[in-house]
Chain A
Amino acid sequence: MGLLVAQLLAGLANAAALFLVASGLSLIFGVTRIVNFAHGSLYMLGAYCGYTALQYLTGPLGFWAAALAAAVAVGLFGLLVECLILRRLYKAPELFQLVATFGVVLVVQDLTLMLWGAEDLLGPRAPGLDRAVMLFGQPVPEYDLALIAVAPLVLLGLWLLMTKTRAGILIRAATQDREMVGALGINQSLLFSGVFFLGAALAGLGGALQLPKGGADLTLDLGILAPAFVVVVIGGMGSIGGAFVAAVLISVVNVFGVLYLPESTLVLMYVVMAVVLLVRPHGLFGRAELQAGPPAAGIPDRPLAPLGPRWRTAALALIGLLAVLPLIGSDFALVLATDIVVLALFAASLHFMLSLGGLISFGHAALFGGGAYAAALAVTYAETPMELALLLAPLAGGWLAFAIGWFCLRLTGVYFAMLTLAFAQLLWSLAFQWTEVTGGDDGLIGIWPAAWASDGTVYYYLTIVLGGGAILMLRHLAHSPFGYALRAARDSEKRARVSGIRVDRVRLAAMVVSGTMAGLAGGLFVFSKGSVFPSALEIARSFDALIMVFLGGVDALGGPLVGAAALTLLQDWLSRLESWRLLLGLAVIAIVLLAPTGIAGFAGRLLRRREAS
C-alpha cells in the first residue's frame, strides 16, 4: 500500500514539469497553429538559465525567484524567436513552420554548448525542501510535494487567465476561430507574441523546476519533446486541461511501468497514446477541427508538366555521369553517391505523399527503419540472402505504411502528423528496448551484401538501378491517373469525393506506395552500411526526410534528389566544422525565410524568369 502511494506521488511529481512544457506547447499550437519543435529547447534553456540564476540567488525564496527569472528569460527568448522567425511564417504551410522550428533546435543546441559547456550540470537541491517526510511508512521528498502542488496551481492560474481576463478570452477565441480575432480588429501579432512568450515561459519554468530532481544537460531538449507531444496529443491539441490530465496519466503510467514492466518504460507511453486515440481520435479533450486548413505543404499553383527535350538531355547526361562515376571518382565519392541515392529515394517517398497527397508525416523514419530492420532481421535470424531481403524491405515498409495509415488517416493536417510521429516513436522504442530481438542500441550488425555485390562499385550500381528505378517509378506514378486522383484529393477533398474519387483509399494507397519505397531505401541503406540501429527509426531521421524534401522544394518532383544531395554534401562538409549544428540550423532558417520554394524551386524560378525575359 505504502509503496503504491509513494509511486503514485512520484508520478504526480514527475507530471509537473511535463505538464508545464506540454501546456505551453498546446497553448502555442491552439492560438498560432504552429507545432513548435523548439519547445524542448526552451525547456532545456530553462534548466540552464535556472542553474545560472541559482548561482546568484540563494535561500528558499531565492530558489523560486531563480525559477521565475529563468521562466521570464526563456519567455523573452521565445518572444525573440517569434518576432524574428515565426511571425513571418503564420500564413506559410505547416512544413515551413516545422522546418524553421527545427532549425531553432539546432541553433539552441550549439548556443547552449558554447555558453554553458559540455559537462552535465547537476541541479542544486531546493533550499528548505531538501529532505523527505514519511508518508504511509515511505519517505517522500518534500520537493516532490511542492511539485505536486505547483502543477495544479499553474493550471489554476492559466484557468483564471483564460476565463477572467480580456487577454485570456481573446486567446480562447483565437483557439476556436482564428479568423474571428482578426475580424474583431484585435492586434493579432501582439496576441501571438504574448502567447508565445507565455508558452515559452511555461517551458522555461518547467526546465528550472526539474533542476532539483535532475540537472541541466544537452539531451534535455529532444528528451522531453516526444513525451510532451504525446501529452498534447492525448490531452487534445490546444486543451490546457487536457494537457494536465494527460501529463498525470502518462507520468503515473510510467512510474507503475517502472514497478511492473521495468524493461518497457519507453514503449508504454506510446501504447497508452495509441489506445486513447483509437477511442478518441482527437484526444481526450480535443475537438475535430471546425474548418479544415490548407494542405500541410500548400498547393502548388503550377500544373505538372512532362520534361522538355532539353531537360531530357540533361537527365540522360546525369544518368551517364552516375554510370561512369566509378571510373572518374574515388571510392569515397561512390560512398557519398550511394548515400545520396538512398536518401533521395527516402526523401522521394515522403515527397510523394507529402507533396502530391498533402499528407505531412513527422514519422517517416518508421517506414525507412521498418524496411531496414525487416531486411536486417531476416538476414540475422533466417540467413536470408540479400536479394530476398531487398524484396522483404519494401514489403515490410508498405505493410507498415498500411497499418499506420489505417490508424492515422482518420485525422488530417497536424493531427495526422503528430500521430505518425507517435507511431514512429513506438517502433523506435521497440527497436531500442526489445534487445533480445533487435539487439537494442547495439543494433544488428554484419548485414553485408551478397558476395557478387560486396564490391563497393557493384553495390553502387545496384543502388543506382534499384533506387534510381524506384525514383523514376514514383515520378511516373505522379503522372498516372492515380497520381492525379491523389492530387485531386489534396487540392479539394470535397470536390474529389463528389467526383467519384475514393479519397481515403487513394490516400491509404499513396501511403503504401510511399512506405514501399521508403522500405526499399531502408533495405539499400542496411546493406550499404552493414548494420542497422534504432537511429534508423528516430525522430532525427524523420526530420532529415522533411528537411531534404524542403531543401529540394516541395513543389518540385525532382526536389528530393536535390534535397538529398544538398543535405548529404552540406552535412559532410559542415560536420567537419566546430559548430556545424549552429550553421546548419541558421542555413535552414535562412532558406525557410528567404527561399521557401527550396533549392530546386528557387533555381527553377530564376530559370523561368530568364526564359521569360
Chain B
Amino acid sequence: MNAVLEVRGLSKAFGGVHAVEDLGFDLRAGERLALIGPNGAGKSTSFQMLMGELRPDAGTACFEGVDLVGMEPREIWALGVGRTFQITSVFASMTVAENVQTALQARNGQSFDPFRRARALHRDEAISLLERVGMAEQADRPASVLAYGDVKRLEFAIALAGEPRLLLMDEPTAGMAPRERHALMDLVSGIVAERGISVLFTEHDMDVVFGHADRIMVLDRGRLIADGTPDAVRADAKVRSVYLGSGAETGHA
C-alpha cells in the first residue's frame, strides 16, 4: 500500500452541469502525476476540491488515510500538503528571505509570537532552502521586484518550507518562457526526487507534461478518459480524438 493520495468518486455540479463526475485515482509515493485536459474539462474544479477551496458534492480524497473533503486549506497544509498557484502568490512587502522565514515560522507554530525578532528567526534555514532553488543571492531583495521566473522559484521555496509530502501545483509554468519552464520543472523534479515528495500538477504545456510527468490523467467534460504513462496516453485513441487530435501542441511531444 503505497498510495499517498486516494481519490474516490469525487463529483461537483454547477447548476445541473457536471463539472467533475466520479473522479477517482491513486497517487503513489514519489510519483509525479499530471492532470490534463482541454479548457473546461474540470481540471481547476478538481484542484479546488483537493485544495479545500471548493466542497465536492460527493466523493472522498484521502491523504495518507485522512479525508481532505470539508477541511480548511490550512488544515490540509497541516497534514503535509503544499501547493503553488496558477497566479503566483508571494508576500510582496517582504524580502525574498523573509517570505521563506514567514512560512518557516508558521511551520514552527510561531505565527503568534509577539516577542522575537522575525528578521533573524530561521534565517539560516531559509537561506539554505533558497540556495536549493537557486535564489540565495537574491535573498535580501524585495519580493516585489523579482523577475517572474524568480517569483515562481520563490513560491516553490515557500511551499517547501512547510515540509510537504505532497505538492499540488496548479499550472506551475503558466506565463513563463519555454526555456524557463523546463529549467523550473527540472528543479522541481530534482528536489521532489531527493525529498521523496509526491506531486500532482495540472499543466497546459504538453512539452512540460510529457517531459516531467511519471503518469498522466486526461479529463474530458468532467470524466477521466485516460490514465497511464506518457507513452500510453500518447498512444490512446480516445485521447487523440477528444483532445490531442484537435491541438497543434502534440507536434513535438
Residues of chain A having any CB pair with chain B under 8 Å? 299-304, 306, 476-477, 479-485, 487-488, 490-492, 494-503, 505-506, 509
Contact = CB atoms under 8 A, between A and B. Distances in A.
A487 B93 contact: yes
Given A481-B105, A484-B118, A499 B112 contact: no
Nearest to B161: A499
B142 A302 contact: yes
Given A485-B112, A494-B73, A506-B111, A501 B93 contact: no
Contact of B114 (A304, A482, A501): A482
Contacts of B102: 481, 484-485, 487-488, 499, 501
B206 interface: no
Contacts of B128: none
Most buried by A among B51, B82, B93: B93
B117 interface: yes
Interface in B125-168: 142, 144-145, 155, 158-159, 161-162
Most buried by B among A306, A496, A500, A502: A500
Nearest to A356: B93
A485 B115 contact: no
Most buried by A among B78, B101, B115: B115
Contact of A495 (B93, B95, B158): B158
B236 to A, nearest CB: 33
A306 B117 CA distance: 10
Interface string B102-114: 1101110011111
B105 A479 contact: no
Nearest to B111: A485
Interface of B: 51, 72-74, 76-78, 82-83, 85, 89-95, 98, 101-103, 105-107, 110-119, 121, 142, 144-145, 155, 158-159, 161-162
Nearest to B53: A494
Contacts of A498: 51, 73-74, 76-77, 82-83, 159
Contact of B111 (A301, A304, A490, A501): A501
A516 to B, nearest CB: 12
A383 B1 CA distance: 71
| CB-CB nearest 9 A-B residue pairs | A500-B106, A485-B111, A491-B91, A301-B144, A495-B89, A481-B113, A492-B89, A497-B73, A499-B103
A449 B119 CA distance: 41
Contacts of B72: 497
A497 B74 CA distance: 5
15 contacts: A299-B93, A303-B94, A480-B115, A481-B111, A484-B98, A485-B102, A487-B93, A487-B102, A492-B91, A492-B92, A494-B73, A494-B89, A497-B74, A498-B159, A501-B111
A565 B144 CA distance: 32
Contacts of A477: 114
Contact of B93 (A301, A497, A500, A506): A301
Contacts of A492: 89-92
A307 to B, nearest CB: 12
Contacts of A481: 102, 105, 110-114, 116, 118, 121
A413 B77 CA distance: 26
Q: At the interface, is chain A mostly helix, strand, loop or mixed?
A: helix
Contacts of B112: 481-482, 485, 505-506, 509
A487 B111 CA distance: 11
A409 to B, nearest CB: 15
A299 B51 CA distance: 26
Contacts of A302: 93, 142, 144
Most buried by B among A481, A482, A490, A491: A481
A503 to B, nearest CB: 8
Contacts of A300: 93
A501 B112 CA distance: 9
Given A481-B114, A483-B118, A495-B85, 16 more contacts: A301-B144, A302-B142, A303-B94, A480-B113, A481-B102, A481-B105, A481-B113, A485-B102, A485-B106, A491-B94, A492-B91, A498-B82, A499-B77, A501-B111, A502-B74, A502-B111
Contacts of A500: 74, 77-78, 103, 106-107, 111, 162
Contact of A301 (B89, B115, B145): B145
Contact of A501 (B76, B106, B117): B106
Contact of B158 (A479, A497, A499): A499
Nearest to B112: A482
Contacts of B161: 499
A499 B94 contact: no
A302 B144 CA distance: 8
A481 B105 CA distance: 7
B135 to A, nearest CB: 15
Contacts of B77: 497-500
A481 B118 CA distance: 5
A309 to B, nearest CB: 16
B99 to A, nearest CB: 8
Most buried by A among B51, B121, B144, B162: B144
